[in-house]
Amino acid sequence: MRRKVTIVGSGNVGATAAHWIVDKELADVVLIDIVEGVPQGKALDLLQSGPVEGFDSHLVGTNDYSDSADSDIVVITAGLPRKPGMSRDDLLMKNYAIVKAVTEQVVRYSPRCILIVVSNPLDAMVQTAYRVSGFPKNRVIGMAGILDSARFRTFIAQELSVSVENVHAFVLGGHGDTMVPLPRYSTVAGIPITELMPPERIDALVQRTANGGAEIVGLLKTGSAYYAPSAAVTEMVEAIFKDKRKILPCAAFLEGEYGVNGLFVGVPVKLGRNGIEEVVQIKLRPEEEAALKKSAAAVEELVEIIKV
């Protein structure tokens, strides 16, 4: 049986994720949106690129959730995008209502799927999907840390003029201003970046990473990032379908790990066929632990507002 991924939201993130997924032939894709014609048109356009790119994955664009039935993975990108000057928190109540409604439909038609949430503010939205779905915690995952780490890796590679393939980095915590990049766990060919550049340069890269989304929003003026976020989603889909048990930073529901209880917070996890196979606990220094708790507290504030 062919694998099936449904992507809710056919905007730039959703449509580009569909592109990556079918190009890698990871699954057939259903693209859902409330706007009539848009998911149908984008799906048809992508489908017609198959003969050129050489993929046989099938795509369907629809406004009807029944077409998503029996999906293996459902990616939720639906929600209002950030505009210049708007924080992720400004989106909270509007996107809460959207994600709640979407999750109810997803559960109705794909009760055994794995949920990947991308909508912002990420940590609160994945908590919403978790509570509304009633799914076990391993099957509800937030995409944030992979994107934040990719940004950090990009800036490190540029700073040191090395291949991005040599650079590994971890960014923990909430997706936003309180994220926690970990320079001593960030390496170039196994060498910690703390040995390759002075502290002030590391601090500058950390700050740019924390503001990575806002920097792109400011440049685009009429939208937000979508190439890197959709690539990050695709890495998660691939790790799950191929049972790679790949260690990636994702928003996971914590029950005591890292001293956090009852919240989705970005931590390293092992991704495999069951979704989150394991939360990987790494030893943090007191200042890193304090930063992570501060990040978790910021997530908790949002969760309390929407009462999930």
C-alpha distances (whole Å) from 90 to each of 75, 80, 85, 142 are: 22, 10, 10, 19
Check pLDDT > 90 for residue 179.
no
Assess whether 209 and 154 both reside in one domain.
Answer: yes
- 175: annotated active-site residue: yes
Assess whether 98 and 194 both reside in one domain.
Answer: no
- 45: domain CATH number is 3.40.50.720
Check pLDDT > 90 for residue 83.
no
86 burial level (CB within 10 Å; 0-12, 13-18, 19+)? middle
In our burial notation (b when 16+ CB lie closer than 10 A, e otherwise), range 158-169 reads ebbeeeeeebbb
Decide which of 142, 165, 184 is a domain's last residue: 142
Domain holding 35, by residue range, is: 4-142
pLDDT-derived band at 170, boundaries 50, 70, 90: confident
CB of 279 closer than 8 Å to CB of 269: yes
Decide which of 142, 174, 194 is a domain's last residue: 142
Check pLDDT > 70 for residue 84.
no
Check pLDDT > 80 for residue 177.
no
Assess whether 138 and 211 both reside in one domain.
Answer: no
Assess whether 300 and 167 both reside in one domain.
Answer: yes
Check pLDDT > 70 for residue 249.
yes
Assess whether 130 and 151 both reside in one domain.
Answer: no
Decide which of 142, 168, 192 is a domain's last residue: 142
Check pLDDT > 90 for residue 176.
no
Span 98-148, pLDDT tens digits: 999 999 999 999 999 999 999 988 999 999 999 999 999 999 999 989 999
Check pLDDT > 70 for residue 88.
no
- 296: domain CATH number is 3.90.110.10
Check pLDDT > 70 for residue 192.
yes
Check pLDDT > 80 for residue 90.
no
Assess whether 16 and 121 both reside in one domain.
Answer: yes
Counted domains in the chain: 2
pLDDT-above-90 percentage for the chain: 86
Assess whether 84 and 204 both reside in one domain.
Answer: no
Assess whether 172 and 37 both reside in one domain.
Answer: no
pLDDT-above-70 percentage for the chain: 97
Q: What is the pTM of this model?
A: 0.95
Mean pLDDT of the chain: 94
Q: What is the CA radius of gyration of the chain?
A: 19
Span 271-297, pLDDT tens digits: 999 999 999 999 999 999 999 999 999
Check pLDDT > 90 for residue 1.
no
Assess whether 169 and 198 both reside in one domain.
Answer: yes
Span 17-69, pLDDT tens digits: 999 999 999 999 999 999 999 999 999 999 999 999 999 999 999 999 999 99
Assess whether 172 and 124 both reside in one domain.
Answer: no
Predicted pLDDT at 156 = 98
| Catalytic choice (19, 58, 168, 175) | 175
- Residue bearing the bigger pLDDT, 244 or 298: 244
Assess whether 216 and 279 both reside in one domain.
Answer: yes
Q: What does the longest C-alpha to C-alpha distance in the chain come to?
A: 55
Predicted pLDDT at 174 = 83
